[in-house]
Structure 1
Amino acid sequence: MFKPLILYIGLRYTRAKRRTQFISFITLTSILGIALGVTALITVLSVMNGFEAELRQRILGMTSHTTISGRYGQLNNWRQLEERLQGYPHVEGSAPFVRGQVMVNADRQVSGTLLRGVLPDHEPGVSEVADNMKFGSLDDLQPGKFGIILGAELANFLGVMVGDRVTVISPQINSTPAGILPRLRRFTVVGIFQVGMYEYDRNMALTHIDDAAKLFRMGDSVTGLRLKLDDLFNAPQISRQLANELYRDYRVSDWTKAHSNFFRAIKTEKRVMFIILLLIVAVAAFNIVSTLVMVVTDKRGDIAILKTQGLTNASVMGIFIVLGGVIGVFGTLLGTLGGVLLALNVETIVPAIESFFGVQFMAADVYYISEVPSKLNWSDVYVIASMAFILSLLATLYPAWQASRVNPAEVLRYE
């Protein structure tokens, strides 16, 4: 049998006659079901990709791509190491830092926080904190002035503003005639930053590296060097190369280790969401089963006549596979088009809906990300479209097999 005949008959069955309009309605609902499932899957994954990219940008705005620290918590020859790293492949910037846990006291409010000592002229090369200053600037950190820059949430908790003074208490101790006392120093608030991540806005403070070294009694040493790379996804590979070249004198880590649990949780959530939404596509795809079963029942006479004319069982199966495939193709194409358009315009559509109904899905005073981000990955689109089409074809196998088993003698006995 000439193959185009199978295609011709399969396509002809997609067009409704007056007595089969209900079947065509069921076919239309199957197409729309697949289209809605594919649209939802593409849109949701794009929004999740947008959130992941936004959070990664904010986290890496404060976290270095690669960190080199001393084996015992101090890096003595950091200037020589920094010169050695200048011109190193893929390294775009470096900055020394001093880090330690402290208590910050203002009036009756006390909070534990991470104090990081930085060089104001080096820090913009490895972080974005200078671009997220609400008040003041990094240049206000002067050596010997004991100025401090607080995260916005920390400053709000302590109830301080620029110009106020706070007491920083170090866990290191002083031996005095009155006994053993913790080291403390009065700092002046010279700036407030807000990067949009609670982890940093609530639990981090910055000061000049010289003042931090005095507070922690580190002398001319630092905690380590923070590096910025040209491609953050190459951080594990670059870190391994640096670790091999620097031998055992240094400890090298990268951002994937520092936040591995967080990004692993996001990937797990995306995977679970993909599976859940794919089940919606699967339900819509298997509506094709009921559609084709009804078509097979309606076309039993046609099938019997075709088989008496020499149509093989495989050809009969091919006719209904073509019919189901057409439903899957149209549903997948419509869903892909709708999903891509929706994903590319989420950041415009959501504010319009909020404005029209007078609601706000993500309040700015509750969520740091007050807008719904979206990032369309074409690889996701290809996978979703392929899965939807494959599920549609799988749904055609049972009805097509049932059609191939039609016995012409039994069907035509009473015709």
Structure 2
Amino acid sequence: MLLSRYERMIAKRYLLPGRGEAFIAVVAGFSLVAVMLGVAALIVVMSVMNGFRAELFDKITGLNGHAVIQGYNGQMPNWREVVKQAKATPGITSATPLIEQPLFASYNGRVEFALIRGMTVEDINSNPTLKGKEILGKFANMKPGSEQVAIGSRLAASIGAEIGSEISIINPQGAATPFGTMFRIVKYRVAAIFEVGVYDYDKAFVIMPMEDAQTLLLLGDSVGMVEIETENADKVQDILAPLAPKVRGSGQIVDWRQMNSQLFEALSIDRIVSFVVLSLIIIVASFNIVSSLIMLVRSKTRDIAVLRTMGASRGGLMRIFMTVGTAIGTVGIAAGALLGFVILYFREYVVKFIGLVTGMNVWDPSMRFLTELPAEPDTFEVIGIIVMAFLFSFLATLYPAWKAASTDPVQVLRYE
């Protein structure tokens, strides 16, 4: 929208509050602030939702893979053949034997639910989700037959265990006796305490070498499942389709969508609802721009009539008021984008401040899954938000600008 010199001069004057126009300036200021808050809220919320989904996906698939082949009755005796067939399937990057069993962990009379996870020592040390997540001790200290384990930080806090503590793993499926089945209780020394950042994992996981897990669960040489990693998580079903008939007699394939379908569907719905609700803020701000421009047109009716008699065209007047409204929206958008990125950068301090003011734990890991508030701004999404806000601001200027251009100078100046 190109403006002539006089149009730019008039638009600049109308952007600044004149004598007796304080109320119009206040309304325009509210419009600017509303646009700013709407854009900032959308950027912050959508970035947090993106970060939450990405972080949760990385953590879940990092420990559970893109899919698992679950053995029938929790056992897979021919797991080596299954691993061989999986690795030979195009699109599969790794196939890892795994044992996972819910049991109980006890220390000093405290008993908590525990999810026993048996992995090869090589997989424990190379797993990207576990690597470098030790807060005490080292995964490297665990060796097959050493009777040493690694436990999650929140499980350690719940039972009061520390490095070197001797915890008991309770397996209800023990030896049969004339008096019934006796619990199998095996003691292990804590070699490492880790924190992966997912509350449920840190609260329950007990990781041990696979050979020790086989001994604990009386599995012999069997494993419970084979974890699968693929080249593309979004195409996991297509990649695994050729493998399904080959392992049908050994186990059932379950991909990450099936394992966490409700969680990721809820996140998708929440993301859409949040976007729609927060977009209403920008729409309301656009109505504020309409109101402030209509009041400006009413207060400048005489000026508009004089300009028309001096040769100003209807198109020129429309451009003037469209520029005024669009400038308000543009400044609000720029300020909102800046505010949004500032909030994202200091988001942990913002959460702590809100918690300090309200006296509540705003980000409770037991409810939010993750221990920290994540954020992952998407460039195209941010551009989309800015374009949407600019479009709403521009559309809000059309009616007031048309009203100004439709002013009849004869009718206005007749009574002056």
Q: Please report the TM-score for the alignment, with normalisation by the length of structure 1.
A: 0.80
Q: Which letter maps to 2:79?
A: W
Q: Which letter maps to 1:253?
A: V
Q: How many Å apart are 1:319 and its aligned residue?
A: 4.5
Structure 1 distance, partners of 2:194, 2:335, is: 46
CA contact under 8 A between 2:89 and 2:242: conserved in structure 1? no
**What's 1:378 paired with?**
379
Over 3 Å counting, the alpha-carbon distance change for 1:71 and 1:368 in structure 2 is closer
Q: How many Å apart are 1:281 and its aligned residue?
A: 2.6
Q: How many Å apart are 1:139 and its aligned residue?
A: 4.0
> For structure 1, which segment, 331-340 or 362-371, has the greater mean C-alpha deviation from structure 2 after superposition?
362-371
Identical positions, percent: 33
Q: C-alpha offsets along residues 24-62 of structure 1, whole Å, 9 cap, x if unaligned?
A: 565455334423432343234334444444444444443
Structure 2 distance, partners of 1:387, 1:282, is: 10
Structure 2 distance, partners of 1:73, 1:269, is: 35
Unaligned runs of 5+ in 2: none
CA contact under 8 A between 2:66 and 2:236: conserved in structure 1? no
1:10-409 paired onto structure 2 within 5 Å? 12-16=10-14, 18-19=18-19, 22=22, 23=24, 26-86=27-87, 89-176=90-177, 178-191=178-191, 192-229=193-230, 234-247=232-245, 248-249=248-249, 250-304=251-305, 317=318, 319-340=320-341, 342=342, 345-346=345-346, 373-409=374-410
Q: C-alpha offsets along residues 275-301 of structure 1, whole Å, 9 cap, x if unaligned?
A: 343333333332212221122112323
CA contact under 8 A between 2:333 and 2:386: conserved in structure 1? yes
Over 3 Å counting, the alpha-carbon distance change for 1:75 and 1:269 in structure 2 is same
Over 3 Å counting, the alpha-carbon distance change for 1:40 and 1:260 in structure 2 is same
Q: Which letter maps to 1:412?
A: L
Q: How many Å apart are 1:259 and its aligned residue?
A: 2.7
Structure 1 distance, partners of 2:352, 2:147, is: 48
CA contact under 8 A between 2:104 and 2:113: conserved in structure 1? yes
CA contact under 8 A between 1:77 and 1:221: conserved in structure 2? yes
Q: How many Å apart are 1:96 and its aligned residue?
A: 0.8
**What's 2:412 paired with?**
411
CA contact under 8 A between 1:68 and 1:225: conserved in structure 2? yes
Structure 2 distance, partners of 1:328, 1:346, is: 25
Structure 2 distance, partners of 1:246, 1:350, is: 48
Over 3 Å counting, the alpha-carbon distance change for 1:83 and 1:381 in structure 2 is same
Q: Secondary structure at the match of 1:114?
A: strand
Q: Secondary structure at the match of 1:244?
A: coil
Over 3 Å counting, the alpha-carbon distance change for 1:10 and 1:134 in structure 2 is closer
Q: How many Å apart are 1:317 and its aligned residue?
A: 4.6
Structure 1 distance, partners of 2:5, 2:271, is: 39
Over 3 Å counting, the alpha-carbon distance change for 1:327 and 1:155 in structure 2 is closer
CA contact under 8 A between 1:235 and 1:254: conserved in structure 2? no
Q: Which letter maps to 1:190?
A: V
Q: Secondary structure at the match of 2:161?
A: coil
Q: C-alpha offsets along residues 142-177 of structure 1, whole Å, 9 cap, x if unaligned?
A: 43444333222223323333444343332435332x
Aligned residues: 405
Q: How many Å apart are 1:216 and its aligned residue?
A: 2.9
Structure 2 distance, partners of 1:408, 1:105, is: 89
Over 3 Å counting, the alpha-carbon distance change for 1:138 and 1:329 in structure 2 is closer
Q: Please report the TM-score for the alignment, with normalisation by the length of structure 2.
A: 0.80
Over 3 Å counting, the alpha-carbon distance change for 1:146 and 1:285 in structure 2 is same
Q: How many Å apart are 1:385 and its aligned residue?
A: 0.7
Q: How many Å apart are 1:208 and its aligned residue?
A: 2.5
CA contact under 8 A between 1:140 and 1:190: conserved in structure 2? no
Q: How many Å apart are 1:125 and its aligned residue?
A: 3.8
Structure 2 distance, partners of 1:264, 1:368, is: 15
Q: How many Å apart are 1:184 and its aligned residue?
A: 0.2
Q: Which letter maps to 1:143?
A: P
Q: Secondary structure at the match of 1:105?
A: strand
CA contact under 8 A between 1:35 and 1:334: conserved in structure 2? yes
Q: Secondary structure at the match of 1:185?
A: strand
Over 3 Å counting, the alpha-carbon distance change for 1:409 and 1:266 in structure 2 is same
Over 3 Å counting, the alpha-carbon distance change for 1:129 and 1:187 in structure 2 is farther
> For structure 1, which segment, 4-13 or 154-163, has the greater mean C-alpha deviation from structure 2 after superposition?
4-13
RMSD of equivalent CA atoms: 3.9
CA contact under 8 A between 1:42 and 1:339: conserved in structure 2? yes
Q: C-alpha offsets along residues 117-162 of structure 1, whole Å, 9 cap, x if unaligned?
A: 2111123444532422334433444434443332222233233334
Q: How many Å apart are 1:382 and its aligned residue?
A: 1.0
> For structure 1, which segment, 15-24 or 114-123, has the greater mean C-alpha deviation from structure 2 after superposition?
15-24
Q: How many Å apart are 1:414 and its aligned residue?
A: 0.9
Structure 1 distance, partners of 2:9, 2:360, is: 47
Over 3 Å counting, the alpha-carbon distance change for 1:111 and 1:75 in structure 2 is same
CA contact under 8 A between 2:125 and 2:140: conserved in structure 1? no
